[in-house]
Amino acid sequence: MSLAGRNAVVTGAASGIGLAAARRLAQAGAAVAIWDLNEAGAQAAAAALVEQGNRAIAARVDVSKRSDVDAAAKQAREQLGPITILVNNAGISAFTPFLEITEELWDRIMTVNLKSVLLCTQALLPDMLAAKWGRIVNVSSSSAQTGAASMVHYAASKGGVIAFTKALAQELAATGVTVNNVPPGFVDTPMLREQLKDRVDAIAAASPMKRPGRPEDMAAAIAFLASEEAGYITGHTLSVNGGRYSN
């Protein structure tokens, strides 16, 4: 599987699933633009890829703001060329009992997790349409498939990502641009460790595979959906969750 000559943008790629995806795409030959609110982390990730012989750049981007997204898209085109792979991975999570969800928190979750997919896709889709080839891979969540207590706001936002994927895939099916999504299960990332503290291992032990997922597990699925080999797959939800949910 080669992505040589392709240029990709991965959002939220300073750590976790996004970083693993950026590394996997670079390994396959793609040039990668790493977008993240954590500028230092994004720069370090890009520098590491460049040191390994890959083409990579970084930008501080608030994916919930169109001005940030448009500026970063312009930079990516100027430094890498037209972008034909987009991984919409950036997101935030929260555990909040339903009656304690404020409008402000609801709006923040929806803006970062769902509106960002709109903004980033609108900014980069013209490159794909011009090339008559493109891959959009959205990172959703198994919480949207199974439901999750104290995560109504998060699950709703990720359910929107799944619906967004299906609808846009129908609209673009004849253009050469595919749109798919990967809903991770319980993945061992810095964000998960921060939220669950010392409960990660115990929760993983109760899962079918008895271990948490690794960011690299998600990256493998993302890279496949971004490949030439996945050209006849669109509107698909490729669940990577260690058996947590089957569909």
Q: What is the C-alpha end-to-end distance of the chain, expressed in Å?
A: 27
Annotated catalytic residues are: 154
Q: Torsion angle, CA of 69/85/193/188, rounded to 10 degrees?
A: 180
Q: Quick one: tokens of 81? A: 């060329």
